[in-house]
């Protein structure tokens, strides 16, 4: 297994922390909740010891995870493993499935973690490009032509991260059939599921395909990124069992307090209340961002169908590129954070987001971006 190497997206994030920007135009998670939102529901006598607690996670939390994914009739709580965010769930799936010489198909643009881990494992990586002209649709005919007996895994995001494109049930069923030709694992990172804007939440892959692995978390939709609480759902019991063993001999993270907080957040009535609040603020910001893009001829995008971020195409001249714009934006006098599309293999784009709430200073950031675009001419 090769060394895990730094990827452009993480480099951007490191730079943003060091620069301490005033405005954030790339926030990918909802406005953060606070401990005060849950303190009244926490048991003061809650033990912080993990003895006597299921290593797979609190049973009530795992049941909530199934309900929010619409899987309560298709999966059992033993099909759920609570993890340290969706990132750990993805890591556990890729780490135990991929060996040197295996093939993996990943989407572009998409969440870069899969490519980083697959490269470290020595797997052969095949990239399927989403079609921007078709609203970032995943071309299933082309993907089907890529599949071979050596295809060990297909990894995608739904809703797509970073474009917000949403695959429907028919597309997911066909994707499952393609993966099933050679019993390939199909991992679908669903971190933005539940925050659809005009359509209903799509079915989870764990309920569609025997070797489907759904990963998710409370980070993006609920703004609880600091909790480091996510999950893996899979009906193949060996996958869950092996992932549990791998976790115990790697991170060994069992976040008992985080699970207690997440269990409260995902209770059906509480979840509905939180989602309504998050939707209201995020939708207002989405409308503001869309109006801004429409008013600048050098910018265009396919408005996200779900989630809090999207890719914006740069159509201007004057040396305008995602890298140049992001590098200049973080400097004085702009001090504004945005991410170049090169982090997703799309250097003529930038990633803009509507998350973060008031702390992101979205309106101020858009004023600065307008001035920055004028600077580039």
pLDDT in the model for residue 222: 93
Q: Residue 377: is its pLDDT beyond 80? A: no
Instruction: Give me the domain span that covers residue 217.
Output: 35-267
Say if 131 falls within a structural domain: yes
| pTM for this predicted structure | 0.95
Q: Report pLDDT for 26.
A: 83
Q: How sure is the predictor about 317, in pLDDT bands with cuts at 50, 70 and 90?
A: low
Residues 329-351, mean pLDDT to the nearest whole number: 94
pLDDT of residue 2: 52
Report which secondary-structure segment, H or E, holds 108: strand 103-108
- Say yes or no: 126 and 138 in one domain: yes
Task: Please give the mean pLDDT across all residues of the chain.
Answer: 93
Q: Determine the Cα–Cα distance for residues 327 and 325; give it in Å rounded to an integer.
A: 6
pLDDT at 334 over 60: yes
> According to the model, what pLDDT value does residue 281 have?
87
Domain boundary among 267, 296, 320: 267
How many angstroms separate the CA atoms of 358 and 198, rounded?
24
* CATH for 205: 3.40.640.10
Residue 135 Rama label (left phi>0; alpha psi -120 to 50; beta) = left
The CATH number of the domain holding residue 330 is 3.90.1150.10
Going by pLDDT thresholds of 50, 70 and 90, the confidence category of residue 348 is very high
- The SS3 call for residue 231 is strand
Q: According to the model, what pLDDT value does residue 260 have? A: 95
pLDDT tens digit sequence for 261-276? 999 999 999 999 999 9
Count of structural domains, the chain: 2
300 has pLDDT over 80? yes
Average pLDDT over residues 88-105: 96
Last residue within a domain, chosen from 267, 289, 311: 267
Q: Is residue 2 part of a domain?
A: no
Note whether residue 134 is domain-resident: yes
The pLDDT of residue 117 is 95
85 backbone φψ class: left, alpha, beta (φ>0; ψ -120 to 50): left
56-89 pLDDT per residue, tens: 999 999 999 999 999 999 999 999 999 999 999 9
Residue 1 lies in a domain: no
Residue 160 CB neighbours (<10 A): 28
Whether residue 240 sits in one domain with residue 147: yes
Position 71 scores a pLDDT of 97
The answer to whether position 3 is within a domain reads no
In percent, the amount of the chain with pLDDT more than 70 equals: 95
The residue among 51 and 142 whose pLDDT is bigger is 142
Provide the pLDDT for residue 52: 73
**pLDDT category of residue 7 using cuts at 50, 70 and 90:** low
pLDDT of residue 17: 65
Residue 93 is predicted with a pLDDT of: 97
Q: CA 310 to CA 324: how far, in whole Å?
A: 19
* pLDDT classification of 292: cutoffs 50, 70, 90: very high
User: What percent of the chain shows pLDDT beyond 90?
Assistant: 82
pLDDT of amino acid 48? 82
pLDDT digits (tens, 9 = 90+) for 203-235: 999 999 999 999 999 999 999 999 999 999 999
Q: Are residues 61 and 24 in the same domain?
A: no
21/63 same-domain check: no
Q: Are residues 285 and 237 in the same domain?
A: no
Do 142 and 242 fall into the same domain?
A: yes
Q: Is there a single domain that holds both residue 46 and residue 126?
A: yes
Spatial CB neighbours of 28, under 8 Å, sequence gap ≥ 6: 161, 162, 220, 308, 309, 353, 355
Is the same domain home to 117 and 16?
no
Rounded Cα distance, 323 and 214, in Å:
32
Count the alpha carbons within 13 Å of 295 in the hemisphere toward its beta carbon: 12
Phi-psi region of 57 (alpha: psi -120 to 50; beta: other; left: phi over 0): left
The pLDDT assigned to 316 comes to 72
Last residue of a domain, one of 267, 282, 315: 267
Q: Are residues 143 and 228 in the same domain?
A: yes
State whether 192 and 287 are in the same domain. no
Is the bond into 173 cis (omega within 30 degrees of 0)? Answer: no
- Residue 27 pLDDT: 86
Q: Is the pLDDT confidence value at 309 over 70?
A: yes
């Amino acid at each position: 297994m090769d060394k895990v190497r730094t990827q452009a997206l993480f480099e951007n994030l490191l730079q943003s922390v060091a620069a301490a920007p005033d405005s954030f135009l790339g926030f990918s998670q909802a406005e953060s909740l606070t401990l005060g939102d849950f303190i009244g529901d926490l048991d003061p006598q809650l033990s912080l010891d993990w003895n006597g607690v299921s290593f797979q996670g609190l049973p009530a939390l795992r049941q909530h995870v199934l309900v929010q994914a619409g899987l309560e009739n298709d999966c059992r709580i033993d099909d759920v493993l609570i993890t340290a965010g969706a990132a750990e769930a993805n890591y556990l799936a890729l780490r135990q499935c991929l060996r040197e010489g295996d093939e993996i198909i990943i989407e572009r643009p998409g969440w870069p973690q899969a490519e980083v881990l697959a490269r470290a494992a020595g797997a052969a990586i095949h990239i399927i490009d989403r079609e921007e002209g078709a609203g970032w649709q995943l071309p299933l005919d082309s993907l089907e032509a890529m599949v071979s007996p050596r295809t060990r895994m297909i990894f995608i995001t739904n809703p797509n991260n970073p474009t917000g494109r949403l695959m429907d049930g028919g597309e997911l069923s066909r994707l499952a059939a393609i993966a099933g030709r050679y019993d390939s694992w199909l991992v679908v990172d669903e971190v933005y599921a539940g925050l659809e804007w005009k359509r209903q939440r799509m079915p989870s892959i764990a309920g569609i395909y025997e070797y489907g692995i759904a990963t998710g978390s409370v980070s993006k939709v609920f703004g609880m990124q600091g909790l480091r609480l996510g999950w893996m759902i899979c009906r193949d019991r060996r996958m869950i069992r092996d992932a549990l063993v791998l976790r115990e001999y790697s991170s060994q993270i069992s976040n008992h307090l985080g699970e207690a907080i997440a269990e409260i957040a995902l209770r059906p009535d509480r979840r509905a209340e939180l989602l309504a609040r998050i939707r209201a603020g995020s939708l207002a910001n989405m409308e503001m961002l869309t109006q801004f893009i429409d008013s600048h001829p050098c910018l265009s995008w396919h408005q996200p169908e779900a989630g809090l971020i999207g890719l914006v195409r740069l159509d201007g001249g004057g040396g305008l590129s995602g890298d140049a714009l992001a590098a200049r934006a973080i400097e004085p006098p702009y001090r504004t954070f945005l991410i170049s599309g090169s982090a997703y293999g799309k250097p003529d784009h930038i990633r803009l987001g509507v998350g973060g709430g008031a702390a992101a200073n979205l309106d101020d950031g858009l004023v600065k971006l307008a001035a920055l675009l004028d600077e580039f001419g």
